[in-house]
Amino acid sequence: MSRFAYVNGRFVRHAVASVHIEDRGYQFADGVYEVIALAGGHFVDLDLHLVRLDRSLGELRIGRPMSDRALTMVLANLAKRNGIRDGSVYLQITRGVAPRDFPFPPDAVPQLVATARRARPVDPKALTDGVKAITIPDLRWARCDIKSVALLPAAMGKQAAREAGAYEAWQYDRDGFVTEGTSSNAWIVTRDGELVTRPPTHAILNGITRLVVIEIAKQAGLRFVERAFTVEEAHAAREAFVTSTTSFVMPITQIDDATIGNGKPGSFALQLREKYQGHMAEIAGRRT
CATH number of the domain encompassing residue 234: 3.20.10.10
247 and 215 part of one domain: yes
pLDDT at 207 exceeding the cut of 80? yes
26 and 150 part of one domain: no
- Out of 80, 125, 132, 147, the active site residue is 147
Question: Is 288 inside a domain boundary?
Answer: no
104 and 211 part of one domain: no
182 and 166 part of one domain: yes
> Using one digit for the tens of pLDDT, what is the confidence trace for 129-139?
999 999 999 99
Q: 201 to each of 158, 227, 246, how far by Cα in Å?
A: 23, 11, 22
Model pLDDT, residue 287: 63
Task: Tell me which of 118, 145, 170 is where a domain ends.
Answer: 118
3-state secondary structure of 244: strand
What's the whole-number mean pLDDT along residues 22-37? 98
- The span from the CA of 27 to the CA of 34, in Å, is 19
Residue 10 belongs to domain spanning:
4-118
53 and 105 part of one domain: yes
- The span from the CA of 209 to the CA of 34, in Å, is 12
109 and 129 part of one domain: no
Task: Tell me which of 73, 95, 118 is where a domain ends.
Answer: 118
- What average pLDDT is seen over the chain? 96
Share of the chain above pLDDT 70, in %: 99
125 belongs to the catalytic site: no
